[in-house]
Structure 1
Amino acid sequence: MDKKLSEKIMEDHDIEQLILKLETLYQNIALLAEQENYDEAINAQQELQREIDKLSSVSKTDLAPYYQRLVALREGIKASFDQFAVAELAVRQKLLSSRKKKAGIQAYRSSILMK
């Protein structure tokens, strides 16, 4: 087998494996966000970003056969990050509401003790 052809096949295999890993990470992030496991979701997002950085070193011509999958993956990642941001905001609002409620209860207790 021609050495260049062998390298090309190996490179295509590596690209395929990287895209599969990106798809798996994306699905894991969506699942973790649904389960409100935000620490793990953030770790998975960071790993996803590292893998995307690896993909950015691949030439566009080598990525051309994977264009449709990459576009779908990008849209899915974008949607899951948006979903994650909304869920994170909801958790922060619940936490803030809980803190306000606790502060109100504490103020009420203090006012009773002052009487």
Structure 2
Amino acid sequence: VSPVLAARLAQIIRAAGPKRTVVLSSTWRRPNHQVRAQRLEREISKHLGESFAFDERTPLRAESSAWDRLQCIGDFLASLDTEAVIKGKLRLLVLEDFFVNSA
């Protein structure tokens, strides 16, 4: 986990404010990457100065391309509270590498 990149992510999370929901959609949501995700949460916590954990994770499914990942994110968004979406209260920022580096 890069401390520099974790610090930048912490800045984005802080800027999103207290009503944010942070969703993990990368391969790090898979059980075999649990240690990495926990390390990232600890690093973000350090930079935020408070405890941090991802609020949600997109569903686990077979993904082999950017399109698969985008569909997974889209399905997750479709499962959200429709009333919030209709009222225009859903603000969204997606940070995704789309399989540029899945190691």
Bigger fraction of residues in helix: 1
Query: Larger Rg: 1 or 2?
Result: 1
Is TM more than 0.5 here?
no
TM-score by length of 2: 0.27
